[in-house]
Every structure is written in C-alpha cells, then in structure tokens.
C-alpha cells in the first residue's frame, strides 16, 4: 500500500472515529439530560466541532474519489477534444475555489485562535482549521487533476483510467465500482 493510499485511508478512519465519538457524546448527553436532569456542558460544542471536521474532511475525500454531485449528461455528449479542455477548465475552477477556502479559513483561524470557548477551553479557531486542512487537501487534489497527463475528464464524471503508481485519479471509478454497477 502506497503512502498516499495510507494517508487517505487514515482520513477515512479519522472520519469514522469522529462520527463514533459524536454519536456516543450526543447519546450520553441525551441520557444525562432526560434521565438525570444534568448533562455534559461541552457536549454540544464538541459534537458541533466534530461535525465540522467530518464535513470538511469528507468533502476532500469526495473530491479525491470523484464522488461529488456532477451532471454529466451534456458533458458526456461533447466531443473528446472539447471534454479535454472543459475538464481542465473545471479542475482550474476547483483549484481556485479550494485556494480561496484555504486562504479565507486560514485568516479566520488566526483571527479566532485566541477566542477560547468557556465551555470546552478550546480555541474557536479549530472550527476554521478544518477548512484550512480541507482547502489544502482539495488544492492538492485539484492540482493533480489539472496536471495529470492524459487525464481529461471532469471531476465526478466517468474518467478514462487510473493515475500513475497505482493511485486512482480523481473521478476514476474503481474496479469494484465498475463490477458492481448495474
């Protein structure tokens, strides 16, 4: 297993761990509130923080896997040279948007890092740090999609093949997906 696959697998496990922790935290908080008229005061804020990280890491993972919502009916009917140009243009737009997310969230992280939550004692900038990490991951994915030689499909639309060194290109269906698709 390559280092890149191990890295993305780690993100998948982090998302799963955050989801499990959120469910346990919310469940315990509900039981404590309704059963014992008490509760974990930081529970709501911690579950909200976990949810933000799950969404942002999940969005990065979806971009890498090409699983974002895409309407490919028109794109698929275009001639291959046009699809090649439009595919590169779409990756460029995604790269610009990801860089805007990265820079904007970085500024918000710095601006809110010294705002400490009275409930958790954690900096409020942690919410925005999720956007920094996600923006960086999306920027790398978009750059690879933009620069990949011979890779001409739009993100989320059926692609032509796998990338170098066995790492699947963004938007490429895995062998499992192709075998199980009706």
Report residue 177's pLDDT band, with 50, 70 and 90 as the boundaries.
Answer: very low
Which pLDDT value is given to residue 152? 55
CA distances from 141 to 55, 111, 122, 127, 156 (A): 17, 27, 30, 22, 13
| Dist CA 39 CA 59 (whole Å) | 32
pLDDT tens digits along 1-41 = 698 899 999 999 999 999 999 999 999 999 998 888 888 88
Which pLDDT value is given to residue 69? 76
The H or E element that residue 3 is part of is helix 3-36
pLDDT tens digits along 158-170 = 544 333 333 444 4
Which pLDDT value is given to residue 51? 95
* pLDDT at residue 139 tops 90: yes
Which pLDDT value is given to residue 149? 65
pLDDT tens digits along 80-134 = 888 888 888 889 999 999 999 999 999 999 999 999 988 888 999 999 999 999 9
Rg (CA), the chain: 20
Which token pair is 16?
């799963």
Query: What 3-state class would DSSP assign to 59?
Result: helix
Domain ranges across the chain:
3-180
Report residue 74's pLDDT band, with 50, 70 and 90 as the boundaries.
Answer: confident
Taking the mean position of all CA atoms in its chain, how far away is CA 117?
Answer: 26
């Amino acid at each position: 297993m390559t280092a890149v696959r191990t890295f993305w697998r780690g993100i998948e496990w982090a998302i799963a761990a955050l989801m499990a922790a959120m469910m346990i935290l919310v469940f315990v908080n509900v039981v404590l509130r309704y059963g014992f008229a008490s509760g974990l005061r930081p529970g709501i804020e911690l579950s909200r923080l976990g949810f933000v990280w799950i969404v942002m890491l999940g969005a990065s993972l979806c971009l890498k896997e090409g699983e974002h919502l895409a309407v490919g009916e028109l794109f698929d009917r275009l001639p291959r040279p046009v699809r090649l140009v439009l595919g590169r243009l779409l990756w460029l737009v995604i790269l610009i948007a990801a860089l805007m997310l990265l820079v904007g969230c970085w500024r918000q992280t710095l601006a809110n890092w010294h705002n400490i939550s009275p409930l958790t004692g954690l900096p409020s900038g942690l919410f925005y740090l999720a956007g920094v990490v996600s923006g960086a991951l999306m920027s790398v994915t978009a750059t690879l999609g933009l620069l990949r030689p011979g890779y001409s499909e739009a993100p989320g639309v059926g692609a032509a093949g796998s990338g170098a060194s066995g790492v699947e290109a963004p938007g490429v269906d895995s062998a499992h997906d192709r075998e199980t698709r009706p």
